[in-house]
A and B are shown apart, each in its own frame.
Chain A
């Protein structure tokens, strides 16, 4: 019996799932995200390749923002890889057929925060479409080289996984343009291939460098017996290790360059006990040491590029911590000038246009620079929004401000909207170093807390940007404080006075960080084996706080009770206090019981705002080579946990966020995408909504008053989805219907929040503004391809105010009514566009009806139009005065249009008949009549204007001047605007009288004369109708 019930229940479930419409991001069709940037501070660039033949088609690969393409040398860029993994390691273009482009995912600048790739992609149409062509498990790809003589031959250098041993590393070769791959150089499962060069004159000569490296969460090692420099004479079938003149092994990472114009000349930066630059002039058989300047030896694992000018073997470029160039083959180096502005340090990519070697593109940790003088000076391209945020926060100002910390690039703030849109000038840097958490003080709009790496936290005055260091210091007898690279600074969700910061201990301040109270013991595992950071780096010491471990990584105060605080550590502890920090319980074993691995980073904790018992947490285990998405939920205050799973999930988890209003609505940000559920986690879907499919979503906020979803992405800057209320209100009942016209909230009457400032954008990146007029919203179960869709708005009396073309997309549609009537009929013709024909008065507050017509079906909703709450000066009385004046002018336009129509009709009649008139006398009469009409017409509207720059004002233009001003302003008309109406009314009356007088004088005479000529038949009715004029 029990089994039967289960079977029946399962059947029911199946049938239910068949008949139900599925909720996906398409359901919320028009809810499209804005990309706010910043462009003024960009992000890490990992690869740059240009099309040699035109020098202006350039592909930019970024660390977490995908591939961007320009076809105009950098004036504008478009993302071309937004459906795939956004971490880019290498790009190659087949220069014989530049439509063929290869992209290797997974950057190879192996820092702690590096992201992970999923293989190699190919486009055969210059980036419009991509196909995955293998190497799926390589995780990191550092270089792709195409045989210049036979583009079917491709080499791919794959350092391979950073966080685990793997056989999927080494040098790969394809001889069939990427269809099949063979691994042609493999050392062992912890040494991959870092660099490769081929001799363009004899492509069977191949050079490659191998690299042994490994990270653990708490230590990095570059170097080992697996590293080496190799040469093949047979396209990679056999290899010989090159050693003569190179330093003694072990090596670390070796950067290699071949001089394209003199291919026996090689350069190599060899990381070793004595890192330096080595050159060879005999194809690598013998080497000698050259420069060992700081820029050559700097961080070899991170700065792995050295390049030679394509035409000049002596001109060598070393983009690294700074930009250096040599004119003597690498013996001595110059540094680039700072003239024209600071050039971002930390460089990873360089493209030299081989047809114009003065033109260089440089990829840094802060974006792309262009040089037109061989690298001496640089121009920053401010239009690539690929910054890597770790966290974001918002305040309660209007417009609210968005705060966030950028990898390599400090802490920033920008308003969520701004006149002209959120552009480069909207963003301001407020704190230096690498940026992570930035928290606005919820009670003091002039203060924010920001940090640099390793817990270097400051209180920032947002007016002056002066800072006070507020990092807690160790006490007598205490162990050294351990601060995570990305130290949590968190303000209280229940008590807004609380400010928390975590080392291995949790601290709380209630006076803006001036005084701190330690409210926990060491909450980590305090495993000493994981605290040897001073040994980190391998052959080159590298201890920048990035490997600090056994630290608190995330802190969350319950929105319902300030005494309930969760703290998660980077070594797997999830700690809870119910008494404001007096006592702590470690929940690590509880979540592990749900199948979440121990020792994972607890990447975020979300205590529910709806119940003290509910808590969500995300866990990130990628530093142990495990990329699974771990999301845990507890409904008993952390005692037991369930692992929330979905086939949709990709990427390790960074952030879980519960909606502020609807407890079933949750958002999950991972290394590869944003996911949402509207049913409490039973069904998840990937949020697209103009968000790159695999965006690296590190943090998520929901604004409590605007209902915006704010994303901190690690590679695409700040992304905002304006107003997610449709996600809260969509019920199953609604989505099953074909069409639903939503009950609209009252619409505020406004032209929008901002003026336009009078000038268009002159470049840079602009994320625009949210719509500041409320939309009319409706739901369509499917796209409407047959039948018309439109919206009609009726006023309280039932009169049609305007018909608006409506969108037809599947899911939620949003149509913006300009809140105006239909424009007047304006006197037609003349030599000038009269903009009154496009402008109508704004309607008055009141009750209106919206009718949505879909094919032959009609849906109707009442809507209330109300005054603009943001503009108290524009009162109802003022609106009525404006409407009255606007309508008087509207009627004047229509009155004048009637006169002009009449003149036009009579002139047409005369023109049509003149050729057929035989009598000279009659001809003269017709011409005379026409002349009088034209004289009048020329006084009523501009007819002579010779150019856009020669103004001609006649009666129509005079009316338009004041009509467009009155209609456009959000203010009552001025005394002189009102007076002007009277003046113009008289002029229009005069025009009517003149027209009547001319017709009285000529029309009957003309009619009689034409009747005599036998021409009147066709025009009899017209003429008779015109008699009255």
Chain B
């Protein structure tokens, strides 16, 4: 009886220690990658076509993001039948917004392209971050709209500064703050992610994003590793 009691006490102590033990950065990253579908899956991610809609006062604006890992990303945005796009590759970038009266695609300044190069990583900035040359640091915990999150600071090899907030309840990234300095001005963009869904292929993606335009971007379809014609990363206009 006495032994049982001691055993129980020890167990209780162990459990409470487990419960309170601080997690290391790598443990958190490990869990975040697992929550996103797992390392292997992410490593196998080569291209993505994500489709969704932005809801602006009830107007549904179709958005399509075509991304090839570390090569390029194109966002197509069709507003009432007028097609706009923005393209970013490792060495060039283009913006075409006829809704703003633009007649042809205009080049992105080189420092913006350089700074954003690491954003073309679609597998996860946290995956093998050391090999990629990023600096990643667990700053501590911080509040995101009432949820106490792990706060992880990333400075990518290209110098982009990102702060990621990971919900300890499920290890999803729920907020990301990106600081850019290109163009001689410091700017912050905040994005939030929710409605994480596990797809049949095992990948887990957020199906709701904010901070990518006005209001919420709702994802309706994600194609994993589709064949992408490289010409989409060249401006047609």
Contacts and interface: CB of A to CB of B under 8 A. Distances in A.
B213 to A, nearest CB: 12
B56 to A, nearest CB: 6
Contacts of A810: 145-147
Given A783-B167, A783-B174, A826 B146 contact: no
Interface in A820-850: 820-823, 826-831, 833-834, 837-840
Residue in A29, A811, A833 whose Cβ sees the most chain B Cβ within 10 Å: A833
A26 interface: yes
A129 B153 contact: yes
Interface residues of A, number: 50
Interface string B161-192: 10100010110101000010000011000000
Given A688-B143, A808-B194, A837 B59 contact: yes
A805 interface: yes
Nearest to B167: A785
A831 B98 contact: yes
A473 interface: no
B80 A834 contact: yes
Interface string A934-972: 000000000001111100000000000000000000000
A823 B174 contact: no
Contact of A785 (B79, B80, B194): B194
Main secondary structure, interface of B, reads: strand
Contacts of A949: 101
Contacts of A125: 153, 161
B169 A785 contact: yes
B81 interface: yes
Given A788-B195, A831-B98, A839 B57 contact: yes
A754 B69 CA distance: 48
A785 B172 contact: yes
Interface in B88-117: 98-101, 103
A234 interface: no
Contacts of B230: none
B145 A786 contact: no
Interface in A111-168: 125, 128-129
B58 A809 contact: no
Contacts of B55: 803-805
A571 to B, nearest CB: 41
B82 interface: yes
A332 B180 CA distance: 47
B81 A828 contact: yes
A787 B101 contact: no
B197 interface: yes
Contacts of B56: 838
B30 interface: no
B145 A809 contact: yes
A668 to B, nearest CB: 21
A989 interface: no
A828 B143 contact: no
Contacts of A828: 80-82
B8 interface: no
B57 A823 contact: yes
B215 interface: yes
A816 to B, nearest CB: 11
A828 B195 CA distance: 31
A822 B163 contact: no
Nearest to A787: B195
A782 interface: yes
Interface residues of B, number: 42
B57 A788 contact: no
A784 interface: yes
B57 A840 contact: yes
A486 interface: no
A186 to B, nearest CB: 34
B101 A947 contact: yes
Nearest to B181: A71
B153 A128 contact: yes
Given A125-B153, A822-B58, A788 B185 contact: no
B146 A809 contact: yes
A802 interface: yes
A948 B103 CA distance: 10
B81 to A, nearest CB: 3
A833 B99 contact: yes
Contacts of A826: 80
A818 interface: yes
B163 to A, nearest CB: 7
A840 B169 CA distance: 40
A788 B143 CA distance: 22
Contacts of A838: 56-57, 59
Contacts of A947: 101
Contact of A26 (B100, B143, B216): B143
B139 A26 contact: no
Contacts of A823: 57-59
A803 B81 contact: no
Contacts of B98: 831
Residue in B81, B100, B179 whose Cβ sees the most chain A Cβ within 10 Å: B81
Nearest to B215: A805
Contacts of A27: 146
A788 B217 CA distance: 12
Contacts of B101: 945, 947-949
Interface in B110-168: 139-140, 143-147, 151, 153, 161, 163, 167
B103 A29 contact: no
B57 A818 contact: yes
A1011 interface: no
Nearest to B100: A948
B85 interface: no
Contacts of B167: 783, 785
B80 A784 contact: no
A808 B197 CA distance: 15
B164 to A, nearest CB: 13
Interface in A781-804: 782-789, 802-804
B144 to A, nearest CB: 8
Question: 4 tightest CB-CB pairs across the interface, nearest first?
Answer: A828-B81, A26-B146, A805-B216, A948-B101
Given A125-B153, A948-B100, 6 more contacts: A783-B167, A784-B195, A785-B172, A809-B146, A828-B81, A945-B101
Interface of A: 24-27, 29, 71-72, 125, 128-129, 688, 782-789, 802-805, 808-811, 818, 820-823, 826-831, 833-834, 837-840, 904, 945-949
28 contacts: A25-B146, A26-B146, A71-B186, A72-B185, A125-B153, A125-B161, A128-B179, A129-B153, A783-B146, A783-B167, A783-B174, A784-B194, A785-B174, A786-B170, A789-B194, A805-B208, A805-B215, A808-B194, A820-B57, A820-B58, A823-B57, A823-B58, A828-B80, A833-B82, A833-B99, A834-B80, A838-B56, A904-B81
